[in-house]
Amino acid sequence: MAYYSKFSENPMRTRTDFQTLVRDLIAPVAGYIERQGARVDFDEGAAVYPMASSSLEGVARPLWGLIPLTVGAGDDCGWWTLMRRVISEGTDPEHPDYWGPTQSPSQHSVEMAAIGVMLMAAPEAAFFPFSDREKDNLLRWLEEIQHVVLVDNNWLFFAVLVQEGLRKIGRADLIDQELQDRYIQRVSEWYLGDGWYGDGPTLPIDHYGAFAIHFYALLYVHFARDPKPALVKAFRERASAFLVPFSYWFAETGEGLMVGRSLTYRFAMAAFWGMAAVCELDGMSPGQIKGIWARQLRSWRDKPIFTADGLMTRGYYYPNLIMCEDYNSPTSPYWAMKAFMPLALSENSAFWQAEEEPLPCLQKVYPMPANNTIAQRIEGHSVVHYGAPVRADVQPDKYNKFAYSTNFGMEINALQYAEEFRFGDNILAFSFDRGINWQMRRSNSFSRLDGRTLSLGWSTGEQVVETTIEVADDGSFTRRHVFELARPAFVAESGFAVDQWYEEAEVLAPEAGAAEARLLMQDRDRVDIMKAEAVIAVRGANGLSAIRSLDAYPKFAGAARRTHTNLSAPRTVTPFLLARLPAGQHTLTHEFLVSSRRDTDIADLLD
């Protein structure tokens, strides 16, 4: 596997360590930019948008690290000369490497945000040295963002950041203030309370609330020239309210919750904590914020997420194009550089002087009614039971599972291989043709939280289900599913997937094995291999996952082996229970147990 030694061997403890880290992350990209100019291309494939937009990403996204490095230390390794050159090329309509005008909508709008922050935070190094003609080209190109249609989600903040960049350099005459007011009001409509935002009108809950909406709002608070006092107050209060709830999305050792889209941005998960430090938010000590931020970054050091020459790859814990969205180009992962905003602080700041402190999470079960989830702390990790809206316009597995974890990676394409009885994690799936074609949750009709109980009404598009999830202090949880079948069906429910990347996972409590699974595939009408009181437990490199039936239905207990569909490991095993049910009313009830310890005794866990 390819590791980038300058990343994996960096201690990531002191301000100097992190300054060195940013330089070492930018250097390989800067080499490509030096050779290729504004049309930088890693030769690693493409995204749905034109290659010019991918090139723009390759220039703009490293700025998220270069800007705070410049603000805090004034040492840019000479890169601003290079960056100004390629920005002038990319925004010059007469240059062969021109990035082109902004369309409705366009990926250009996303990358303009970094350039807007460049004008807000570091205009002396990044803008004023341009010639008059270069300035005019850049401003004309940036200003286009106010005249195109933006995606109705966190993208609205991109225009705000560009506008505030224009204001910072004395070009308020180019700003459409009414547009800015309308965009900020629109984003505020997605605020759910307790710090949580939904990312757009359908209110999906993912990391965009943190590394996008809160992050951009705090950039406005800290770097805008004349921020509106009412907005500063609102943005600070909402971000402060977010500190404790969002901390439940991180393990004691730093790993973040694997949920939602755009996880190829990796340690962008730390971006909110960086801006919380820069803005000195109330609600946590500098040491607590620093601990979450630094541990999240360090949690990536043992992951093969780079090429041999130090370029960040697409994927999560390993290179994996299957888990990517169609808008993830080879240069997209450099949104991770948003994590480094604390480098804008001086060495004498409270953040850099503080000692890292442990997570403030105190409750084993932490209901979050604002976003219809329940966080459960298990052995220093989090499991989040998820009742937020399902986003069906991206890979639905990133939003439709009953639970997500900081320890067990989610399986995408959960129904790929389902005809072979190999299911992804944390789903309930139905087949009405003897196990050939399968369907799972596509939308919610309701979601209610009552203490430690989460109730969901949902549909596959054909089958309607009501699910009740009850969460316990001891690390266990149960799911009860009530539904009426119009015709006979196979119904399968799965637990968490365990890692068997380099060593085979153990099946600890099998009620059926590979031979029985083959028999069932050969003769899907067999019922003799389905047993009452079924239980299945599997143990892999990252811990143990178990399911036990609590109802009277006979079930097949299986272990689904899958490849390249999990975010954290390319080889996984997922435990599942499978019932064959007649038409009529049914209630399935299953208990789930997980452990991140490899020495967990299965008998003790089941007791």
Q: Domain boundaries in the chain?
A: 5-353, 365-606
DSSP letter, residue 213: I
pLDDT band at 515, cuts 50/70/90? Answer: low
Share of the chain above pLDDT 90, in %: 90
Q: How much is the average pLDDT of 104-132?
A: 95
What confidence score (pLDDT) does residue 397 get?
96
Share of the chain above pLDDT 70, in %: 96
CB neighbour list of residue 23: distance below 8 Å, 6 or more residues apart: 69, 77
Instruction: Label the pairing between strands 506-507 and 535-540.
Output: antiparallel
Q: How much is the average pLDDT of 50-63?
A: 95
Q: How much is the average pLDDT of 9-27?
A: 97
Give the integer Cα–Cα distance in Å for 315 and 402.
23
Indicate whether 76 pLDDT > 70.
no
Dihedrals phi, psi of 218, to nearest 5 degrees: -75, -30
Give the integer Cα–Cα distance in Å for 56 and 110.
10
What confidence score (pLDDT) does residue 58 get?
97
CB neighbour list of residue 56: distance below 8 Å, 6 or more residues apart: 38, 90, 99, 107, 108, 111
pLDDT band at 607, cuts 50/70/90? Answer: low
Give the right CATH number for 5-353 from 1.50.10.10, 1.10.3720.10, 1.10.600.10, 2.40.50.140. Answer: 1.50.10.10
Indicate whether 106 pLDDT > 90.
no
Indicate whether 512 pLDDT > 60.
no
Indicate whether 523 pLDDT > 80.
no
pLDDT band at 601, cuts 50/70/90? Answer: low
- Angle subtended at Cα 380 by Cα 376 and Cα 385, rounded to the nearest 5 degrees: 20
Indicate whether 332 pLDDT > 80.
yes
In 550-596, which ranges are E strands? 555-563, 571-581, 584-595
pLDDT in tens, 382-407: 999 999 999 988 999 999 999 999 99
What confidence score (pLDDT) does residue 211 get?
98
* Strands of the sheet with 403-405, listed across from one edge: 365-368, 373-378, 381-386, 403-405
Instruction: Label the pairing between strands 191-193 and 506-507.
Output: unpaired
Dihedrals phi, psi of 574, to nearest 5 degrees: -120, 125
Indicate whether 227 pLDDT > 60.
yes
Q: Within 13 Å and on the Cβ side, how many CA atoms surround 510?
A: 15
Report the chain's mean pLDDT, rounded to a whole number.
94
What confidence score (pLDDT) does residue 533 get?
86
Dihedrals phi, psi of 126, to nearest 5 degrees: -100, -25
pLDDT band at 518, cuts 50/70/90? Answer: low
pLDDT band at 526, cuts 50/70/90? Answer: confident
Indicate whether 360 pLDDT > 90.
no
pLDDT in tens, 148-205: 999 999 999 999 999 999 999 999 999 999 999 999 999 999 999 999 999 999 999 9
What confidence score (pLDDT) does residue 605 get?
60
Indicate whether 517 pLDDT > 70.
no
What confidence score (pLDDT) does residue 214 get?
98
Q: How much is the average pLDDT of 547-574?
A: 96
Torsion of the alpha carbons at 483, 489, 495 and 500, rounded to the nearest 10: -170
What confidence score (pLDDT) does residue 603 get?
62
Indicate whether 513 pLDDT > 70.
no
**Is the CATH number 2.70.98.70 carried by domain 365-606?**
yes
Phi-psi region of 475 (alpha: psi -120 to 50; beta: other; left: phi over 0): left
3-state SS class at 454: strand
Instruction: Label the pairing between strands 571-581 and 489-494.
Output: antiparallel
What confidence score (pLDDT) does residue 527 get?
66
pLDDT in tens, 139-153: 999 999 999 999 999
What confidence score (pLDDT) does residue 436 get?
94
Indicate whether 604 pLDDT > 80.
no
